[in-house]
């Protein structure tokens, strides 16, 4: 769920009190107190102190607090979504997706966290070491810094924080400077639900983000590939581990035996949902020649039925700001100038707000930015291909590798295609659904990221340090290799270890 627009506003603008404008109307959505970067170390120190008691509650105790927060989210859903629409210019349909996703994640984590975080027994590597008991403990990193983007201010702010809080960490959240208001509401809800003060905010832009990186024990960043590289570089100064969910240019492949209507519906929703401002959105489509015309016609029909606008009764809303709209305009303008055709849209919506018409592009190729650069806008470029091999080659011809989708009536064939695509997840006969599969990792290849979010138990353990404790089962044989033991005892131990290591496996009786 990556937001790609870099911050270009002068840092001086992020001091004192700031006003956040609604991108759909230009009206004031609310005000925020920007954090002084010099205050971040103090905020982090407070979290570090509070985290000790939070860890000591144990998984069961933390689960109770998380459950109360889930109830608060459910009870305040309307308030949260109203603020989302004001802050981002989303349609009501898009705003309605975020709170349920968090409740789903919370429900899963609450049910599984005790087992996922329990100490784990490991077997002895050799029979001679059976006198030892080996246990791996998962110890939370005290402060997890989360630098979140603007495209999903609720979901992207907390979908990783939930795993960190479950693990026993404190969380220092820096929401996007474009969408700080919903983060304030979420923190209020955390405290109002009776949870301890282990979730804090740092509001601001680059300098505040830098201070968060410098004062956290782990960094979860969601954003552009270029900014992700800078985050990793800064974190490396203190050897702070990072998890980066970065940009994408997700391909869809439509085979000649696909359900064309289903594929068309999926492509339109996958490309236009949230005005295309989703890291795992459909950003380019490769369609086999026999069904190309039918697919394009179905897509155009669906797109022409879409309504653009904020709030109720619309399919998707505004882009976050004029800068993001300008990227979309450039990609379409350059493609058309190079020979592409816009079958729908192709320009911004008349009137106030940063709205762009849903745009279907054909006669495109990889010389065009609309097929190679992340657009993050409501566009759908479609390219005709002769063979599946050509589709796979073009899909992999990208610096990105976040997710993809394959449509075919033959699921086995689609799976064979899927495992040839260079990306972190592939949806068969669907789009974006991997985002809901929190039992599996969501991570990118190539410049789409490092590490993964979710992944079942790994989605909580990633925020922990592993500590191995080796304890004796018996004192027999203790100190067999110490200096004070005889050379005969040492030689005997070496012979036993050598024989054990080189012993052939026993054959199983038939």
Q: Rg for the chain (alpha carbons), in Å?
A: 26
Catalytic residue from among 255, 279, 370, 423: 279
Per the annotation, the verdict on 169 as an active-site residue is no
Are 418 and 437 contacting, i.e. CB atoms less than 8 angstroms apart?
no
Structure-token pair, residue 144:
């997890």
Q: Which of 296, 160, 302, 264 is nearest to 222 (CA)?
A: 160
> Could you report how far apart the first and last alpha carbons of the chain are, in Å?
54
Other C-beta atoms lying within 10 Å of the C-beta of residue 31:
12
DSSP element (H, E) containing 21: strand 17-21
Instruction: Tell me how far CA of residue 440 lies from CA of 213, 223, 458, in angstroms.
Output: 27, 21, 9
The C-alpha atoms of residue 127 and residue 266 are separated, in whole angstroms, by 56
Of 245, 283, 373, 374, catalytic:
245
**Longest alpha-carbon distance in the chain:** 91
Q: Residues with Cβ < 8 Å from 277, sequence gap 6 or more?
A: 3, 151, 319, 320, 324, 376, 377
Q: Which helix (H) or strand (E) holds 342?
A: strand 341-344
Q: Count other C-beta atoms under 10 Å from residue 139's C-beta.
A: 13
Residue bearing tokens 């105790």: 61
Q: What is the enclosing helix (H) or strand (E) of 470?
A: strand 464-472
* Nearest alpha carbon to residue 288 among 260, 312, 317: 260
Output the CA–CA distances (angstroms, integers) from residue 346 to 316, 328, 338, 359, 503, in the order listed.
16, 9, 14, 5, 71
Q: How many CA atoms lie within 13 A of 109 on its CB side?
A: 33
Residue 12 gets the label, from left (phi > 0), alpha (psi -120 to 50) or beta, of alpha
Count CA within 13 A, CB hemisphere, residue 493: 14
Give the residue numbers marked as catalytic.
245, 279
């Amino acid at each position: 769920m990556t937001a790609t627009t870099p911050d270009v506003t002068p840092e001086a603008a992020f001091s004192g009190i700031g006003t956040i404008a609604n991108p759909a109307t230009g009206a004031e959505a609310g005000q925020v107190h920007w954090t002084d970067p010099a205050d971040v170390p103090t905020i982090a120190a407070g979290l570090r102190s509070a985290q000790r008691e939070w860890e000591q509650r144990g998984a069961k105790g933390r689960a109770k607090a998380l459950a109360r927060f889930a109830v608060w989210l459910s009870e305040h859903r309307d308030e949260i979504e109203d603020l989302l629409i004001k802050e981002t210019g989303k349609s009501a349909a898009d705003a309605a997706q975020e709170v349920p996703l968090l409740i789903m994640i919370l429900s899963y984590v609450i049910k599984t966290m005790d087992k996922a975080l329990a100490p784990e027994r490991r077997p002895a590597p050799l029979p001679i070491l059976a006198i030892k008991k080996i246990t791996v403990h998962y110890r939370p990193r005290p402060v997890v810094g989360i630098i979140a983007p603007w495209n999903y201010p609720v979901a992207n702010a907390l979908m990783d924080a939930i795993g960190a809080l479950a693990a026993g960490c404190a969380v220092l959240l820096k929401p996007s400077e474009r969408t700080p208001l919903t983060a304030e509401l979420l923190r209020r809800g955390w405290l109002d639900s009776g949870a301890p003060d282990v979730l804090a905010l740092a509001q601001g832009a680059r300098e505040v983000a830098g201070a968060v990186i410098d004062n956290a024990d782990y960094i979860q960043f969601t954003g552009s590939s270029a900014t992700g590289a800078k985050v990793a570089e800064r974190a490396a100064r203190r050897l702070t581990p990072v998890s980066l969910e970065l940009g994408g240019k997700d391909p869809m492949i439509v085979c000649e035996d696909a359900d064309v209507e289903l594929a068309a519906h999926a492509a339109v929703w996958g490309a236009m949902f949230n005005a295309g401002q989703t890291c795992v959105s459909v950003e380019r489509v490769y369609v086999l020649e026999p069904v190309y015309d039918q697919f394009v016609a179905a897509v155009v029909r669906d797109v022409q039925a879409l309504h653009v606008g904020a709030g109720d009764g619309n399919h998707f809303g505004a882009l976050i700001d004029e800068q993001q709209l300008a990227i979309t305009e450039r990609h379409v303008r350059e493609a058309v100038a190079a020979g592409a055709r816009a079958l729908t849209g192709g320009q911004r919506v008349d009137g106030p707000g940063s709205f762009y018409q849903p745009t279907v592009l054909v006669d495109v190729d990889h010389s065009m930015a609309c097929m190679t650069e992340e657009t993050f806008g409501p566009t759908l470029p479609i390219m005709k291909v002769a063979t599946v091999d050509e589709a796979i080659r073009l899909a992999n011809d990208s610096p990105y590798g976040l997710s993809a989708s394959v449509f075919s009536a033959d699921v086995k064939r689609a799976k064979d295609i899927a495992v040839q695509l260079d990306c972190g997840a592939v949806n068969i006969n669907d789009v974006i659904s991997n985002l809901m599969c929190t039992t599996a990792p969501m991570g990118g290849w190539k410049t789409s990221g490092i590490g993964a979010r979710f992944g079942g138990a790994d989605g909580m353990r990633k925020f922990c340090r592993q500590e191995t404790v080796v304890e004796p089962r018996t004192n027999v044989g203790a100190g067999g290799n110490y200096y004070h033991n005889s050379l005969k005892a040492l030689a005997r131990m070496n012979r036993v270890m050598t024989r054990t290591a080189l012993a052939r496996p026993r054959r199983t009786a038939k």
